[in-house]
Amino acid sequence: MTRRYTTLMLIVALALSGCAKPDWIEQTLVTADVTGKWLGSCQARSGSVPTIEMTLRQSGPKVTGVGRSSPGGISWTLDGTINGDIFTFSGIRSGMVGEFKVNGDEMTGPVSGGGNINCHLNRQSSSDSPRSQP
């Protein structure tokens, strides 16, 4: 009976190991650096094309910064992360959430919060703050 129980436990353990989370290295892989000042435009469903400016600082996979949109001069503080070449962020106390694909000095993607918009930003400079090493 004990041998059968041990064999069953071994089979269950092996099956569960196949359902494990992705490797921690894969989850923390940083292939993009978004440090600097970014400027671009966003296309809203209403047809308006607001401009957006973000100044970002990256330390490993963690990103902090400030953003501003115009017209209206609405500004927000943001927290985000880089996973591979995807920059995911949320505006602190603004309800804004975004996910941009980073490609060198360009990033594009949707932003939601007060309406869904698609944005395209270009890095204007990276000299505002030093680039961090992942």
- Per-residue pLDDT, averaged over 88-106, amounts to 90
Q: State if pTM tops 0.85.
A: no
CATH of the domain at 83: 2.40.128.20
- Could you read off the pLDDT of 33-76 as tens digits, one per residue? 999 999 999 887 777 777 889 999 999 999 999 988 887 778 88
Which residues partner with 40 through β-bridges? 52, 121
- Can you say how many angstroms the Cα of residue 29 is from the centroid of all Cα atoms in its chain? 12
Structural domain boundaries enclosing 76:
26-125
- Could you read off the pLDDT of 14-37 as tens digits, one per residue? 565 555 555 555 555 678 899 999
Domain-embedded: residue 132: no
Predicted confidence at residue 95, as pLDDT, reads 79
Domain-embedded: residue 68: yes
Domain-embedded: residue 2: no
Rounded distance between C-alpha atoms, residue 133 and residue 95, angstroms: 30
Q: Is pLDDT of 113 > 80?
A: no
Rounded distance between C-alpha atoms, residue 56 and residue 63, angstroms: 7
